[in-house]
Structure 1
Amino acid sequence: MTRKDAMERARAWYDDDTEGYFPTLARHVAIPTESQEPSRLPELYRYHAEETRPAFEAMGFEVEVYDNPVEGQGPVMLASRIEDPSLPTVLGYGHGDVVRGQEDRWTKGEGPWVLARDGDKVYGRGTADNKGQLVTHMGAYKAVLETRGSLGFNAKFMIETGEENGSQGLKQLVAENREAFAADALFASDGPRADRNRANLTLGSRGALNFELSVNLREGAHHSGNWGGLLANPGIILAHALATITDARGRILVEGWRPETVPGNLRDILRGATAEKGPGAPEIDPDWGEPGLTAAEKLATWNSFEVLAFVTGIPDAPLNAVPPTARAVCQLRYIPETKGSDIVPALREHLDRHGFSMVEILPPPSGNAGGFEAARTDPDHPWAKWVEAAVGRAGGTPPVVTPSTGGSICNDVFAEVLQIPFVWLPLSYAGCSQHAPDEHILVPLIQEGLGLVTGVYWDLGAPETRYRP
């Protein structure tokens, strides 16, 4: 039996209309695992009980479902198959939770909880982020087991149900059960490709810190004719405060938010890289952000500041009055060279220096409170090199290697708690509408991805290609 045999078996499972990829994914999508909605907590437990646990147990994994140490947050499942303690142990990861369904805003498919195909697009909440990608790994395990009779390596796979709410409690849970989650390396799939036209590997993720800027000047609004020009307007004050954080083209101006150095090997592997987003994606604004960087470099090697929401007064029913307050929910995506603990102090000093001491820096709304630390695997690490070679063997061409995805995920758990290298093989694309209505995956990318993941797992278990930590 060969790698090709395993990949063909995976393709046969993909095509099975009864128990294959799409029937499996349809069951996953049908469970509304909205982690940002407290009322959905029972659905997060049901997802493991009805779908993930039985599937892994059928493949010979021992399964444990851990309650989250943070009250109200979803459970974490760990499936383990230890074939030989002398073999390498590779950890996988997926998240079974999704963002809010936004049922009334879908214009394609049949809404968020029904899998629906239209040509090469398959719609449903979680198809891209992340149920469609973790199901691919489950199918790859199955194909290798059925082809070889064993994996040939030790496998662990964790599925959390709180990633879309900032993975609250995950770091604590893993730290308290470190031996159970221990591994030599992580291999997983999440997020979109940076270059849709070739297989991609990402070696890390930017951190994400959300916060609120607030100007609260007085109780109640006051007639703009009687008081306009006499009372300070909090909306104007906050707009000017925000204008000091970046210039008019989005270039960050806060000292401490601008990385002093970027490792040279990151620039080297990004040389010639593109940020091709695929059909349906918005056109990139080439003059936005840090000057002198390519689009790929802006995502992987620099920080970005965003205003996620801004409100003053009552926008849908404005009064002829000076509003008393203004609020903006903001976010900094940052690379590992920026320390997360320095972000808010640097902003406080910046605002005070520019005369905006009245602008408070507050925690974000509870539904947007989660955050992630930045983390990255060194591109020269043996695990990064091994996965790059394995994906190249499976796909026939070398993958594009990106030092970091522009988004954020719990890589700090792997880097800081488990202290293992991590490599991601994203199977979606940037135009997939994740976190928005009409979320979907592309059939060609999933088909290709299933073959690549199967090839990696096959090579992990083959003596001649096995990774040796």
Structure 2
Amino acid sequence: MPSHTSDNARQRQEAIDRAHAIYDSGRLLDDLARRLSFRTESQNEAQAAALHAYLTEEIAPTLSRLGFTSRIVANSAVERAPFLIAERIEDPALPTVLTYGHGDVVRGYDDQWRASLAPWRVTVQKDRWYGRGSADNKGQHSINFAALGAVLQARRGKLGYNVKVIFEMGEEIGSPGLDEICAAEREALSADVFIASDGPRVSAERPTVFLGSRGGVNFDLTVDLREGAHHSGNWGGVLRNPAIVLAHAIASLVDHRGAIVVDGLRPPPISDAVRHALSDIELGGDENAPAIDPEWGEPGLTPTERVIAWNSLEVLAFKAGNPDAPVNAIPPVARATCQLRFVVGTDSARAAEHLSAHLARHGFADVQVSVTRTAAATRLDPEDPWVDWVLSSIATTSGKKPALLPNLGGTVPNDVFADTLGLPTLWVPHSYPACSQHAPNEHLLGSVAREALGLMAGIWWDLGEDAHRIAALRSARGTHVAHVCASATASAAAASFAAAALSH
């Protein structure tokens, strides 16, 4: 846990107060308004200039004011989505933290926002700060950089550790090139711990830490039966309809309540340790959160366990014929875009093999399986010393017991940092589940932003006191970055945290 003497506690509080003042003065809102004005849609090739400008005109100058040197690195995978690598080295012998952010956003969908709102400007309505990227991820990295600046001021310009940054502009298109850049720049990005922010808290009121993320396999199912469409009156009843075939094929993958029935795509049983970690976490409940369907998904699990500790198979899109202008014809082709979200321990590398074999056994040999994208599942061992440390730091600052998620239900490029760079990974999100991320009316909560500034100031401060000790403890224990099924000792970590929280 973080170590605090009375004098240190006073100085720590000064750093937190400085961070809160950034919110109270309007500086954070000004920073966010300026950053949201960059139309950084990474899916839109026409916005290549904006993607580059966000790094050169916004992030690099911000980091320069904090004492970083930075460089832009080209992305050979997708030219329009460059990277920025920066470092602030006080002494090579000091511990080092690596942090991350992404400046790209999904499409703005400008005409779908509520009246008086727009994606490329900040609109404040009560506690909500509306704008594309306010929650994902411009608001979150703005908070982290601002809090770091507050700690630098409180520490009179010396953090007591080094900071490195990897910043990308292609996260919303699957982070193309990120793994290759991190592998090539492994020495430049070497560190003792990774700390960053993305995704939502479990609720607006409860600070959260997650240690990895579910992985994802995107795949297409296609039934291509013949050339051209044929009149449904003349041929209906004697020609197989690919849409009907495909609908039955999908129904063979999941049961009537959405539980996966393909044995190779199901995860290992949930350990007692993971169940314990999730036992006091409630899914949903925030304003605007969708109503949970209590009977949907794997039976015998809580809603939280279904999202965090289990696998789900979803149909993202389904097309046959022309849905916008249907005609009286049997279509020749039907296609569905599907997605498997999975936890550590799933045989995801053989997903296509498992799907094809299952479909063949059920008489759907005509269904073609094509995997289009994969992302690995990761999970840091909850017993890692960094986990108890960050939970205790947040508890000290907030007076709240933070939620510990073994992994996020969604997917972030954590495998790059955990596997390619070999780092223990801590994510401290500043959004909340009902933020309309990726949808019209995306927003950040001002109250969460203010609290997050304080939490991150506490974390940045505590690194200066404890990074060397925690790194040494981790080394002495022989701790490795174990992206396992959290099967061993999460309960011990939770007990350690509970004792630490009670002592503050």
TM range (shorter): over 0.9
Quote the Cα distance in structure 1 between the aligned partners of 2:471 and 2:399: 23
User: Who is 1:352 aligned against?
Assistant: 360
How far the C-alpha of 1:260 sits from its partner, in A, is 2.4
CA contact (8 A) 2:182 2:189 kept: yes
User: Who is 1:367 aligned against?
Assistant: none
Quote the Cα distance in structure 2 between the aligned partners of 1:253 and 1:441: 38
User: Who is 1:26 aligned against?
Assistant: 33
Determine whether 1:402 maps to 2:405. yes
CA contact (8 A) 2:78 2:176 kept: no
How far the C-alpha of 1:372 sits from its partner, in A, is 1.9
Quote the Cα distance in structure 1 between the aligned partners of 2:434 and 2:330: 41
Determine whether 1:253 maps to 2:256. no
Tell me which amino acid in the other structure corresponds to 1:50.
E
User: Who is 1:71 aligned against?
Assistant: 78
How far the C-alpha of 1:363 sits from its partner, in A, is 4.4
User: Who is 2:109 aligned against?
Assistant: 102
CA contact (8 A) 1:376 1:404 kept: yes
Of 323, 337, 349, the match for 1:315: 323
Quote the Cα distance in structure 1 between the aligned partners of 2:58 and 2:317: 36
User: Who is 2:201 aligned against?
Assistant: 193
CA contact (8 A) 2:37 2:121 kept: yes
Determine whether 1:3 maps to 2:6. no
The runs of 4+ residues in structure 1 deviating greater than 6 Å are: none
Quote the Cα distance in structure 2 between the aligned partners of 1:56 and 1:346: 47
User: Who is 1:142 aligned against?
Assistant: 149
| Offset from partner CA, 1:123-182 (integer Å, 9 cap, x none) | 000000111000000101110011112112111122111111011110011001100111
What pairs with 1:76-95 in structure 2 (closer than 5 Å)?
76-95=83-102
How far the C-alpha of 1:272 sits from its partner, in A, is 2.5
CA contact (8 A) 2:84 2:166 kept: yes
Determine whether 1:157 maps to 2:165. yes
What pairs with 1:298-309 in structure 2 (closer than 5 Å)?
298-309=306-317
Tell me which amino acid in the other structure corresponds to 1:103.
D
How far the C-alpha of 1:463 sits from its partner, in A, is 5.6
Output the TM-score relative to the length of structure 2: 0.89
**Residues 73, 267 of structure 1: CA spacing in aligned structure 2 closer, same or farther, 3 A cutoff?**
farther
Quote the Cα distance in structure 1 between the aligned partners of 2:117 and 2:284: 28
User: Who is 1:274 aligned against?
Assistant: 282
Determine whether 1:243 maps to 2:246. no
**Residues 463, 224 of structure 1: CA spacing in aligned structure 2 closer, same or farther, 3 A cutoff?**
closer
Of 225, 241, 254, the match for 1:217: 225
Tell me which amino acid in the other structure corresponds to 2:297.
G
How far the C-alpha of 1:108 sits from its partner, in A, is 5.0
Output the TM-score relative to the length of structure 1: 0.96
Of 439, 444, 456, the match for 1:453: 456
How far the C-alpha of 1:340 sits from its partner, in A, is 2.7
| Offset from partner CA, 1:71-122 (integer Å, 9 cap, x none) | 3351111221111222211111111110011111111553110111011011
Determine whether 1:127 maps to 2:134. yes
| Residue range with higher mean Cα deviation, 22-31 or 78-87 | 78-87
CA contact (8 A) 2:39 2:120 kept: yes
Name structure 1 gaps, 5 residues minimum.
Answer: 365-369
Of 191, 216, 240, the match for 1:232: 240
Identity of aligned residues (%): 47
**Residues 97, 239 of structure 1: CA spacing in aligned structure 2 closer, same or farther, 3 A cutoff?**
same
Quote the Cα distance in structure 2 between the aligned partners of 1:13 and 1:260: 46
| Offset from partner CA, 1:189-243 (integer Å, 9 cap, x none) | 1111123321111111001111111111111111111000011000000000000
Determine whether 1:428 maps to 2:456. no
CA contact (8 A) 1:90 1:154 kept: yes
User: Who is 1:202 aligned against?
Assistant: 210
Of 406, 411, 416, the match for 2:414: 411
**Residues 39, 464 of structure 1: CA spacing in aligned structure 2 closer, same or farther, 3 A cutoff?**
closer
